[in-house]
């Protein structure tokens, strides 16, 4: 009987890997009717539901898994992602923070936390999160781009350009996204520098 139960989970995971999410959901619900204590069952049910666009049901499944063990990084991370996809950015932020308490060295979680902060219009916290992401994973082009965009929104054009250039060096395919705004940053930076130079020259000129 134990082998049958294990086979059901293996089969469900195989269905998920084959992107047959509805079939996986059906199999996992049957399995969980008999084994409601299975963390793996609830976690995989949440994943299958989220992958099929049923985020609300997925969150319920993840909560069942968390009620059994709330110290599993992947459960918090995936719940956060489901909440983010539902535009519940505050909820997503809290779940990413819980995930990072368990594994503070996960670069993707820091990047995603930054995205949640950005959606909450907290650019400074977003930049801090993106900075943590690239400190952990220096070749994380997406996090560099996200940081560039956050700096741009904050009006810090010098850092926006620097981060954008780092992102492009790592991943040239980001060029189209960068080009949507980088010329604005360059123009603003040039205008600021020109204004400072004019001000400096005026101060150096002798008085009338």
C-alpha closest to that of 65 among 43, 92, 48, 82 = 43
Q: What is the per-residue pLDDT for 2? A: 44
**Residue 88 token pair:** 């519940």
Q: What is the per-residue pLDDT for 5? A: 73
What is the torsional sign of CA 135, 140, 141, 147?
A: negative
Helix (H) or strand (E) holding 55: helix 55-68
Q: What is the per-residue pLDDT for 95? A: 98
Q: What is the per-residue pLDDT for 57? A: 98
**pLDDT mean values, one per 10 residues, the chain (208 residues):** 71 97 97 96 98 97 98 98 98 98 98 98 97 98 97 93 97 95 88 72 61
Coil/strand/helix, residue 181: coil
Decide: 75 and 92 in contact? Cβ < 8 Å.
no
Decide: 83 and 118 in contact? Cβ < 8 Å.
no
What is the torsional sign of CA 66, 71, 76, 78?
A: negative
pTM as predicted: 0.87
| Long-range CB pairs of 48-53, under 8 A, 24+ apart, other chains included | 48/12, 48/15, 48/16, 48/21, 48/24, 49/21, 49/25, 50/78, 50/81, 50/82, 50/85, 51/16, 51/19, 51/21, 52/21, 52/22, 52/25
The separation between CA 3 and the C-alpha centre of its own chain, rounded to angstroms, equals: 37
């Amino acid at each position: 009987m134990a082998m049958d139960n294990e086979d059901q989970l293996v089969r469900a995971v195989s269905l998920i890997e084959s992107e047959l999410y509805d079939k996986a959901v059906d199999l996992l619900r049957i399995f969980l009717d008999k084994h409601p204590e299975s963390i793996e069952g609830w976690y995989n049910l949440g994943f299958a539901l989220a992958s099929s666009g049923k985020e609300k049901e997925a969150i319920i499944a993840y909560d069942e898994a968390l009620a059994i063990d709330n110290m599993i990084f992947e459960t918090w991370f995936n719940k956060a992602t489901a909440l983010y996809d539902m535009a519940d950015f505050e909820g997503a932020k809290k779940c990413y923070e819980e995930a990072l308490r368990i594994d503070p060295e996960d670069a993707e979680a820091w990047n995603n936390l930054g995205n949640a902060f950005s959606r909450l219009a907290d650019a400074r916290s977003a930049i801090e999160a993106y900075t943590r992401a690239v400190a952990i994973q220096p070749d994380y082009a997406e996090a560099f781009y996200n940081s560039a965009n956050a700096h741009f929104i904050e009006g810090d054009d010098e850092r926006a350009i620097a981060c954008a250039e780092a992102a492009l060096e790592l991943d040239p395919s980001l060029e189209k996204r960068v080009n949507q705004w980088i010329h604005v940053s360059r123009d603003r930076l040039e205008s600021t520098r020109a204004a400072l130079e004019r001000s400096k020259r005026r101060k150096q000129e002798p008085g009338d």
